Each structure stands twice: as structure tokens, then as C-alpha cells.
Structure 1
Amino acid sequence: MTVIDGDRSAPALSALRTDGFVVLPGVLSGAELAAARDHADDLLRGVGWSDNDFDGRRTRRVYSLLSRPGALEPLLLHPEVHRLVTACLGEVYQFGMLFLSAVDPGQGAQALHVDAGVYPLPRQVEAETNVIWALDDFTDSNGATLIAPGSHRWADGRRPQPHELVPAVMPAGSALVYSGRLWHAAGHNAAETTRRALICEHVLPWLRPADNHILATGVEQLRLLAPALRRLAGVAPASDYLGLVAGQDPEQWLRQTAAD
């Protein structure tokens, strides 16, 4: 498994393109990690387990994070991650699915899948590039994400065999950046502690994202977000004539309607 440390921009991009993933260890400072954990726990408090096998019947998820980004903002906007995403998707892209995950003890392994499988596009198209932020250590015992290296380049119809899967073991504060075409799944949490993570999908700007961030966040809250977060919420036009509001750039529309 490729783990990149030190001056890592070029080797990280090379690994991402070759293997379909790369682990960036210890990206967050101790203070950033502690703040993110505290905010995650606030958001997760009182949340029940998911009601289906895929999301996990012993897993808690929190969506609509852009209405309350708090201490998660440095993760959502981390420049090292976004350099890699930009290299894969281009200068303009948007969040796809965005959620906190708390995999509690006893949660079984998730079904293997590719995130970009929701889009009816040729397999060779890199429609999304995603990141899993480890808020706790990812270990063999607590169900570290299972990945099939190189599977983003496989032909349609090929599925991973058990011997082709490796766990993405990484310390808390690390980031697993991976292609939306990579076969992967959350592992079985056989430990006695919860494994928390922040999952951020990034998709091409002309695709419909899995989450409707505009509706979930609301216009007034969008105005309060950092401009970079607004763009990732889907406010940025995909091109000169795609993604306008009443014929205007959305940022212009937000300013104009705020003054009305």
C-alpha cells in the first residue's frame, strides 16, 4: 500500500493514478484533529444507527454538513487534498456525497462497491475523486477501509477477490485519497472502540451530486460559508453557460438578492 510522507505532491499524484489511491499520513495537526473530533462528536450525539445493510446497521451517519461545518472546514478545504483532486478533475468540481461516519463495534464489512458506479459513464472516465479522513486510527481490527489496488483500471465486470483486498491502515489525522472507480468497502469492526471518519466525494461539475447541498444548506447559510465552500457546494458554474441563476453567475445572484 502506497503511503506518501514528506514532500509528497508529485509522488502522491503518481500513486493515485497508478494504484487508484494514496494515503497521506498525519496531514492534520494535533489541534486540527482534536477540534474535528470534538465537532464530530457533537454532530453524532443522539444519532441512531443506519436502517440498511449497505450504510451499516451498527454505523451512524450525519449528512448536511455544510449547514454546520465548524471545525471540519479545514478538512473540507485542505489544500493538499484539493491539489490532487484538481489534478484529476480539473479546476472546477463539486462535493458529491458528504458525511460523517461512526462505525461502532460489531459492524460487519460493507459490500464492495465503486463510488462512481452511480453514474452511467464509461468506466475509464474519472467522474469523481474522493477522500476519507481518519478521525481515529484505521487498523486491521477496527475495520479499516478495504481497497483493491489498481482496480480503477479494471475492465467492466471484474470484481475483487478476497486476496486482492488490502486494509487502508493509517493513523488518525491521515487522509485516504482515492479514485471513484476504485473497488473498496468499509471493513469489519471487530475492536471494542468506534472508528470515526469524514467522507468527502468530489465530482465533475456537470454531474448531479449524490447529495443536494444547495437545498440541504439553504441560501442564507450558503451566504455565510467561505467562498471556497460555496463553490464546492455547487454554486460555481460548470462552464460559461452551465449552472447559472436567472442568467447570472450564482455569486452575483447571491450578492444581488442579499441586497434586495
Structure 2
Amino acid sequence: MTTDAAIRQYVSELSTFGYCIVRDALPASTIAALEADLRERFDLTPFGEGGFYGEATKRFGRLLARSRHTEALVRHPVVIAIVETILARWCDCIQLNTTQAIAVHPGAPAQLPHRDQDMWAAAKGEMEYLVNVMWPIDRFTRENGATQVWPHSHGLAALSDDTPEPPVSIEMAPGSALLFLGSTLHAAGFNRSQHVRRGIVIGYALGWLKPYENQWLAYPPHLARSFSPELAALVGYRQHRPNLGNYEGQCPSILLDPGHDNDAPLAAMDALREDQQALVTALIQTREEAR
């Protein structure tokens, strides 16, 4: 199967079931190198507080600042293509919503089933707001509380309190990736094992939403200057038309120019959608004809 055909297949599965699995998306060695970079932070991070995050679970973010290997997950070409295909109906460009490392310790109870789109108080069933990707660091098994998803619980089904099918425990090895929609009901399972289950969540959202993780604080300009242009754009150093997320009326990528003077006056520049630009162009033309 060609890459394009595979992407179409994954998009079809994601749209139909609310989730899909990309097996062997990355070499296990890449995940092992990422784990080595994050190991100390896992050890130092306190357990969560509250029943949702879990008091036997550890979480931390800013992964692009903690390991260069995170970019391989964030910018995985097949994953990005799938996400952009799903979300492109409702935005000009996607953005990184979060990078979060999670360690579910032995005895951690099952998480409250939830839909990640509910972080935004917006209409449900009309659009998808995000796609999340779970990357295992340790093998996910039913015993250690592998992520559970409820098939066909997405989209309009999210408006119902009923679940059409029982949950499925997603068992997979490091290097594979579970993609699920923001409208898909899911939860961490009960870790009945004697081992910690660790994973990485990479989230992508519509470019005009307020992201879960404050990307500009996580990756201020002095850090983002070391990113590739594509990665910097994903973490927010680009505008979303019309002029959303601008800096002094310009694309915030200007802040990544080493020679940029923050005190220098800047001219505000239009960054409009095609329909808006057409209206402006027509108005200007009408005025010129009237002269």
C-alpha cells in the first residue's frame, strides 16, 4: 500500500470508528531515546492532585524543550497528514495543542470516561476540534491499563449519554500510535499490573482555538528560534487568518528573527481569508471606479 493510500485508509477508520492505530509508525529506538531524555523528569515529577488527573499518575509537558526526539512524534508525516485531512474543513492550519508525558502507576484506578473536546465550551456534533495521538513508551496491555476507547462514540454520538459499543483496550508496542478524535469517548484503564505504564500524548487542534498547553510560555522565542520553521509554526509562531495570533499586526514568526528589534515600530499587515480579501478588493475597486 502506498503512503497516500495508507493515509486515506487511516482517515476512513478514524472517521468511521473515532480512532485508528498506526502500527510501527516509528522505530522503537526513537522511543527509547526519548524515554532516556525524560526518565529523570518522570522520577522528579510529583503525582497529580484530583480525581481526574489521578493521584497515582504523573504528568508533565513542554516535551519539545526536554528532548529533541519529541519532534519525530510531533511532526510525523503520516500523522500530520491524517490530522490535517480531518481538521482542514474547519481551519486554515492546525496547531499543537499539547505535548504531555504520562506515567500511570500500579494500582491507579480507571480514569473517568471523557471526551477531550469538552475542554472547550462550544457546540458539539458539528465539527471536530482536535485529534490526539497516544504514543506508548512502555508496551500498553489490558493488564497495565491501556487506553480504552469507545468505538462509534464520536461526532453526533457525543450528544448522547448512551455508548453504542463497549470500550476497547488498545494494546500496542512502543513505536505504534493511537489516534482518536476529540469527540471520541476514552479513558485510561485500571493498572492492575506491578509496573508503571508510560506514554506520550501529542494533541493537535484547530488553529483558531485557545490551546490546552500555553505554547508561547512553553516555547518562548529564545527556545523556538532553534526549531525548524514547520515546528515553530505548529507551536504558534504563525497567524491563522484573519490575523489571529498576530504580534503587532504581523505574523509572530518575526520574533524568531535574531535581528528583530522588539521596540521597532511595525506596520499592521492584512492576513485575511479569501472571502474577506475578495470583499476588500471589491470595495477598493468600487471606490476607484467612483473617482
Give me the TM-score of the superposition, normalised by structure 1: 0.91
1:250 to 249, 252, 263: 252
Amino acid across the alignment from 1:12: Y
Q: Which residue of 2 aligns with 1:25?
A: 23
Give yes or no for the alignment of 1:117 onto 2:115. no
For residues 95 and 110 of structure 1, the distance between their equivalents in structure 2, rounded to whole angstroms, comes to 24
Matched AA of 2:191:
N
Q: Distance in 2 between matches of 1:96 and 1:8?
A: 25
Give the C-alpha shift of residue 38 in structure 1. 1.1
Deviation (angstroms), 1:228: 1.9
For 1:69 and 1:208, how far apart are their aligned partners in 2?
A: 24
The separation in 1 between residues aligned to 2:211 and 2:19, in whole angstroms, is 21
Distance 2:101 2:225 in 1: 23
Q: CA RMSD in A?
A: 2.0
Deviation at 1:113, TM superposition (A): 0.4
Structure 1 CA distance, aligned partners of 2:205 and 2:192? Answer: 32
1:140 aligned residue (139, 142, 145): 142
Contact between 2:34 and 2:67, CA under 8 Å: does it hold in 1?
no
Q: For residue 199 of structure 2, give the secondary structure of its aligned residue in structure 1.
A: strand
Distance 1:11 1:85, change over 3 A: same
Q: How does 1:44-55 map to 2 (within 5 A)?
A: 44-55=42-53
Deviations 1:165-189 (A, max 9, x none): 1111112211001100000000001
Secondary structure of 1:164's aligned partner: coil
Q: 2:204 aligns with which of 198, 202, 218?
A: 202
73-82 vs 87-96, greater mean Cα deviation? 87-96
Matched, 1:74 2:51: no
Equivalent residues, number: 255
Aligned to 1:95: 96
Tell me if structure 2 keeps the 8 A contact 1:237–1:243: yes
Identity of aligned residues (%): 30
Q: How far apart, CA to CA, are the structure 2 residues paired with 1:149 and 1:131?
A: 16
Equivalent pair of 2:24/2:176 in contact (CA under 8 Å): yes
SS of 1:8 mapped into structure 2: helix
Aligned to 2:131: 129
Change (3 A) 1:107 1:6: farther
For the 8 Å contact 1:94–1:202, the answer to whether it is kept is: yes
1:203 is paired with a residue of what secondary structure? strand
- Kept in 2, the 8 Å contact 1:66–1:213? The answer is no
Tell me: CA distance 1:195–1:7, structure 2 relative to 1, closer, same or farther (3 Å): farther
Partners of 1:12 and 1:50 in 2: how far apart? 34
Any conservation in 1 of the 2:221–2:255 contact (CA below 8 Å)? no
* Residue aligning to 2:195: 193
Change (3 A) 1:257 1:120: farther
Partner Cα separation in structure 2 for residue 244 and residue 256 of structure 1: 18
Deviation at 1:141, TM superposition (A): 0.1
Most deviating of 209-218 and 182-191: 209-218
| Alignment match of 1:42 (pick from 40, 43, 67) | 40
After TM superposition, the score normalised by the length of structure 2 is 0.82
CA apart distance, 1:258: 3.9
Secondary structure of the structure 2 residue equivalent to 1:129:
strand
Return the match for 2:9 from 5, 8, 11.
Answer: 11
Q: 1:158 aligns with which of 145, 158, 161?
A: 161
- Partners of 1:238 and 1:6 lie apart in 2 by 27
- Residue 248 of structure 2 aligns to a residue in which SS? coil
Pair 155,253 (structure 1): closer, same or farther in 2 beyond 3 Å: closer
**Structure with higher RCO (Cα < 8 A, 6+ apart):** 1
CA distance in 1, matches of 2:162, 2:259: 50
How far apart in 1 are the matches of 2:200 and 2:44? Answer: 18
